[in-house]
Amino acid sequence: MDVAPLTADAGPVAPGAGDAEERPRGRRLRLVAWAAGAVAILGAVALTAWELAAARVPQHRAALEALIREHTGLDVGFRELTVRWGWYGPEAVFHRVVLGEPGGGGVLLRAPRLVVGLDTWRMLRSGELAVARITLVEPDIDLGTGAALRPGAHRPQAGHDSVLAAGARLLSRWRGGRIELEGGTLHWPMPGALPLTVGVQHAQLRRLAELWDADVQLLLPASLGESLHLSAQMRGDPAEPHAMSGSLGFDGRRLEFGGWREVIRDPGAERYLPGGGLGNLELHAEFADGRLLRADGKVLAEGLAWRGPAVAAESLGIGRLRGDWQLARRGEAWRLEAHALESGERAPAAVSASVDVASDAESAQGRVESVPLPLLAAVARSFAPQLPLGQLSLEGVAHELSFDWNARRPAGERLRTSARLEELSIASLSHELTLTGLTAQLSGVDARLTLDLHGERAQLHAVRAEPVSLEGLVVAARFALAAEHGGWQLRTDELAISRPDLALAASGTLAADGTGGKPRVAAHVALKQADAVLIAKLLGPGALAALGAASAAQLSTGRIENADLEWRGTVDPARAPWSAAGSVFRGAFELRDASLGGLDPWPQLEHLDAHLEWRGPRVHAAIAAGQAGTFTLAGASAEWDALGERPTHLAARLTASAQPALAWLRAHRELAAYAPGIEDLDLRGDTRLDVDVLVPAAAGGSSTRANHAPRPRTRINAVLDGVRLRAVAGLPPIDALHGTLGFADGHLQPSQLSGQWLGGPVALSVAERRDSGATALTIAGRGLAETRQALLAAGASDDAMLEGHAEWTALLTLLPGSEGSGLRWRVRADSNLIGVASRLPEPFAKSESVPLPLRVELQAGADTGQLRLALGERLRATVALHRSGELWRIERGAVHLASTAPSLPEEPVLTLEGRISRLDLPALLALWRQAARDAALPALRARLSAAQLAVGARTYDEVSVTAEAAPGGGTLELESEGLAGSASWPATVDDSHPALVHLSRLDAPQLGDGARSGGLAAALGPAARLSIDDLEWQGRSLGSLAAQLTFRSDGFDVGEARLAGENEDSRGSLHCQDGGGCRAEFSLDSRDAASTLAAFGFRPELAANRARLTGELEWPQAASPSLATLAGSLHMRLERGVTRTAAAAEGGVPLALLTVPALTAGMRAENRDGVLPALGFSRLTADFELRDGQAMVDLHFDGDAEILVRGRTGLLAHDYDEQAWILRGEQRLPAAVRRLGPTPKVAAVWLSLRELFAGSADRTRAALRLRGTWEEPMVTSAD
């Protein structure tokens, strides 16, 4: 190796480029050379050592075996030995190695290869074999061999302690170095079972004097988990564990914790090891002189389960557990702390725990925070399996959970516990009932616990078909729980739950002994002001059915005013609370204003006030008031047996209005079996029902009730007090009906009723009978009817045409209709009409004492019927009926005024035929029109003949009448010798559409008879136009008459009246007011006064070419118009006439109002032969005032002489008392006075003035006085 010296040219100036490149290159070459040399030297040394070892191995085979025995303390056997160069130097490889206890005690280990690494440096220094390490490749280790060969041990019983002791001995014999295992298996002996086989992934053990270092990675069998990593650093002799110090690490992955109980088998540790579960566990422990100093670790597991300490205890299970823990000494005591523990239970925060245990295990204290209540309950169940916690589901968190256990305290007081429970909820195991929103304070001494429960806004939730929730509950309670001698007892004296609409207080004891029997209860519950609907929903249908009150589930409203419950006995959910011998189950409650849904078809109960009490299965209910549909419950009681072993009895009194009750019955036709047809009666008024129902007990009790329900026995009495009954639509009702209807087992019993019908008493017999194979309802009646009431009920007017009373009998039969049809019924009624007097026209006229049998037969179905009527031998009728709503109408029919029954006509018409002796035409016409307006009748058609026809007081012989009527109007025609005419009327008669009455001739013997034809017109309606072609009076024809008649409710009017004769024309009007009087205005114009006087029956004592009579007359409307009642004024004016001489033989009566003929007749002194001189006149005027049968006369006769007449004419007395002045010549009135007005009053004034101013010589006029009668007037001088 050459080294070149530095030259002088080298200076401080930087070298050139060539020098710079040469110097680094040379340096690198030198380094490579040095490295190659070192490697060569080492290789030479290694080669030398290899050669030495290779040369000496065959020579020292026995030495190698002894060396292994010395290092391991085990005998070794092998098939082959080879030498090789390994990573760390020469190695001796033993093939197919077997290691065992010295002295042939058995094979402990078998391996394909055992590699001994030689320590080259020590071999060079000492020249002897030196072992650096031992490596076992894929060994098969059987730890049971070492345990079995321990003195006094037997292989089949090799266990945990013997295996560990054998391993400690083996390690103690090892002189040191390093042992490695690459792969392999480890067989761990199990007592009474096959050994466990553990796969060794890698293991390394080092020893340097007393220092030990181990690291093992194992693959576990499926029964133990997945993998396990063990590490240890120790000082001491393994054979003397009490003197060992160091640390130990344990890291298991996916461990099956249940399998480790079989491996460890330490009685002290078994109770803490879970019997099941899977997870990861890390453990680090430090110890000194064989004593544990501290330990810590982590756990992540799921599905953990611990066996309970008691024999019958439940397993303690934790779904998931995660956290850190530490165990350390504090003086002579131990402290276990766990932080951030997380379990599978829901909790607002991680669980933390701290436990202090004395070194002598005589005392322990602990504190746990945020423990999930389900976990705490599970722990309690595992230590005290007899507690009934398994029947509850608890949720919440336990804060400040502490315990203090001291073995030095007296027995029963060694353990003291306390806890604060937050977010507490208590539920049944099925979560049907859940109480939430609670807090509690828990304290206890040993097995005696006290729980103070509170809740300001608690909620109770019930899972039912319709979920129920009660919110805002205030809960306050104290419970005492004791678990001793295998039994337990739960007691409370202070349980209160309330809210504004509910208050519950309870006390009692629930206990169970240690014999495994059912728990026993002794409890008392009081409830006030509770919503009955909520309570029923909370109890559920099962609890209600247990009391036989399943219908309580139909409650819609109601309030429990107060309730009281006492229960003493055995608790068995599968049996009723009263079933056990000696059990007491009783209670009572007051129900107010409840509504209970009815069971179809019965109506809903409302406003129900009731008191219920029960003792065991026997229940009694007393109902004070209620409303069931249309029924008012006045009082009721019920008794039943929840087991169905005794009869059920119900008694009730209900009041109701009959009409809505029957309407409800019609809506539930399935109830018709109780009284067929009664629902179709029209019954109105208040009724009272007394109901008595007895349901016999089912054979075999409640187990057979559903399939063999006994038939109930029902009795119902319906008390009628003043009701109204309309048995059949269209008949008048029976009023003031009294009596009782009895029903038994669904059948109507014979019942008697009484009432008022048609103004008289009636007695009814109601019964049920079989008719044509069906059950029929019959109503037989007997009574006395007043004819006036019968007429009003029939729609006739109260005109007193019928008077009296009549006895009658009737039978009504109601038959159920066939399927698809309605009710059928028939009526038969009879009466002899004795006591009835009739002024009706033939054939209905009769006297009171004469019997006239009347029979009515009517049968009908839902919509149709037929009526047959017989009235003695006078009348027979047959009509077909049709129902429209609640009314019956006649579709068609026939009435014969004879003794033979008519046949029904084919067309829809009601016919009337026959002959009668007397017929009142106005009455017939009014009746005919009234019948035509009746909607229940079809078109009418009549053909009658009468021996005598009456129109007012006038009668006509042998008259035939034909009439037709329909809703659109009608006509009537009549024909007789003295009367012929017709009448017609529209559907609606009024002023615009009057009825028309036309008579072709009318012979009126009296003048008033013509007016009576107005009665015929009045029968036609409010307005009629009357026309008579030829009105005759006393054989004289008066001409034709036409008038417009208007009939009002308060009177009538006659307008546009005109009587047109041969020589005269009369017009007038009449107005009559009810309660007032009649007023007539008329005028008569005549072209021949004498003929007019003769036509009206007066003597023709005066003739005039022109005459006019006007007047206004009044008379009381209640009286007939007569001279005695007339009052008013008349004015008469005649022109160009002459007085005539007329003898009495000419007939007629004198017209006394004319006076002049009477005056001339009375002047006999001048005409003794009785021949009166004729007096011509140009004008005759007169005014008359009529009053009280007198006529005050003012008359002026202007003719051949001027005559003035003043005075009185007696219309009733037929006499005169008048004064007359006869003026002739110059005495006549001046022309000026005549022009002023030549009336009698003017003339009288003029004469009075002339007498006043003239002298006695000028008083030459004649003054006469007229007295006497109309037939014999007398004239005397006024002087």
Which tens digit of pLDDT belongs to each residue from 115-126? 888 777 777 777
Cα dihedral 919, 922, 923, 928, rounded to 10, equals 100
Q: What mean pLDDT is predicted for residues 89-109?
A: 81
Residue 780 has pLDDT above 60, yes or no: yes
* Residue 10: per-residue pLDDT: 38
Q: How far is 66 from 75, CA to CA, in rounded Å?
A: 9
Q: What integer best gives the mean pLDDT of the chain?
A: 79
Q: Which two tokens stand for residue 353?
A: 């725990």
- Find all residues with CB under 8 Å of 339, minimum gap 6, and list them: 323, 324, 325, 350, 352
Strands 887-897 and 909-920, by their bridges, are: parallel
Q: Does 1017 or 964 have the greater pLDDT score?
A: 964
Q: How far is 130 from 89, CA to CA, in rounded Å?
A: 12
Cα–chain center distance at 1065: 83
Residue 153 has pLDDT above 50, yes or no: no
1096-1125: pLDDT as tens digits: 888 888 889 999 999 999 888 766 667 788
Q: How far is 509 from 560, CA to CA, in rounded Å?
A: 25
CB 118 within 8 A of CB 132: yes
* Residue 1183: per-residue pLDDT: 92
pLDDT cut 90: percent of the chain above it = 14
Q: How far is 1018 from 1008, CA to CA, in rounded Å?
A: 16
- Find all residues with CB under 8 Å of 164, minimum gap 6, and list them: none
Q: Give the count of beta carbons closer than 10 Å to the beta carbon of residue 617.
A: 22
Region class of 582: left (phi > 0), else alpha (psi between -120 and 50), else beta: left
pLDDT cut 70: percent of the chain above it = 80
- C-beta contacts of 961-970 below 8 A and 24+ residues apart: 961/919, 961/921, 961/924, 963/924, 963/928, 964/939, 964/940, 965/928, 965/929, 965/931, 965/932, 965/939, 965/940, 966/932, 966/939, 966/940, 967/932, 967/933, 969/932, 970/928, 970/929, 970/932, 970/940
Residue 1171 has pLDDT above 70, yes or no: no
Residue 256 amino acid letter: E
* Residue 1050: per-residue pLDDT: 80
* Residue 508: per-residue pLDDT: 92
* Residue 1231: per-residue pLDDT: 66
Q: How confident is the model at residue 509 (pLDDT cuts 50, 70, 90)?
A: very high
Candidates 532, 389, 534, 528; CA nearest to 464 is: 534
Q: Which two tokens stand for residue 929?
A: 């029109």
436-495: pLDDT as tens digits: 999 999 998 888 889 999 999 998 888 877 788 888 899 999 999 888 777 888 899 889
Residue 618 has pLDDT above 60, yes or no: yes
pLDDT-wise least confident of 138-147, 359-368, 756-765, 826-835: 138-147
> Which residues on adjacent β-strands are paired with residue 489?
482, 511
Candidates 341, 369, 337; CA nearest to 354 is: 337
Give the 3-state secondary structure of 11-26: CCCCCCHHHHHHHHHH
Q: Does 199 or 45 have the greater pLDDT score?
A: 199
Q: Which two tokens stand for residue 21?
A: 């490149």
Q: How confident is the model at residue 17 (pLDDT cuts 50, 70, 90)?
A: very low
Tokens 């290694």, residue located: 46
* Residue 571: per-residue pLDDT: 84
Q: What mean pLDDT is predicted for residues 897-913?
A: 89
Q: Does 1001 or 184 have the greater pLDDT score?
A: 184
Q: How confident is the model at residue 138 (pLDDT cuts 50, 70, 90)?
A: very high
Q: Which helix (H) or strand (E) holds 658?
A: helix 658-666
* CA triple 1272-1274-1276, angle to 5 deg: 175
351-403: pLDDT as tens digits: 888 888 887 878 888 888 888 888 787 777 777 777 777 778 888 888 888 98
pLDDT-wise least confident of 19-23, 94-98, 366-370, 580-584: 19-23
* Residue 679: per-residue pLDDT: 57
pLDDT-wise least confident of 42-56, 276-290, 522-536: 42-56
Helix axes 921-933, 1007-1018, angle to 10 degrees: 10
Q: What is the DSSP string of 114-164?
A: EEEEE-HHHHHHHSS--EEEEEEES-EEEHHHHHHTSTT--GGG--HHHHH
Q: Does 1075 or 235 have the greater pLDDT score?
A: 235
* Residue 1: per-residue pLDDT: 34
Using alpha carbons, list the distances in angstroms from residue 453 to 239, 425, 447, 478: 59, 11, 19, 6
* Residue 506: per-residue pLDDT: 93
Q: Does 771 or 12 have the greater pLDDT score?
A: 771
Q: How far is 269 from 291, CA to CA, in rounded Å?
A: 17
395-431: pLDDT as tens digits: 888 888 898 888 888 888 888 999 998 888 888 878 8
Listed ranges 652-666, 920-934, 1079-1093; the one with the highest mean pLDDT: 1079-1093
- The tally of CA atoms less than 13 A away on the side-chain side of residue 745 is 5
User: Can you list the positions of beta strands (E) in 407-447?
Assistant: 415-428, 433-445
User: Please, is 401 exposed, middle or buried when counting C-beta atoms within 10 Å of its C-beta (0-12, 13-18, 19+)?
Assistant: buried
Q: What mean pLDDT is predicted for residues 1013-1032?
A: 75
- Distance from the first to the final alpha carbon of the chain: 222
CB 1030 within 8 A of CB 1000: yes
Residue 270 has pLDDT above 90, yes or no: no
* Residue 1068: per-residue pLDDT: 92
* Residue 763: per-residue pLDDT: 93
Helix ranges (H only) for 983-1024 are 1007-1018
* Residue 895: per-residue pLDDT: 92
* Residue 1236: per-residue pLDDT: 58
* Residue 681: per-residue pLDDT: 66
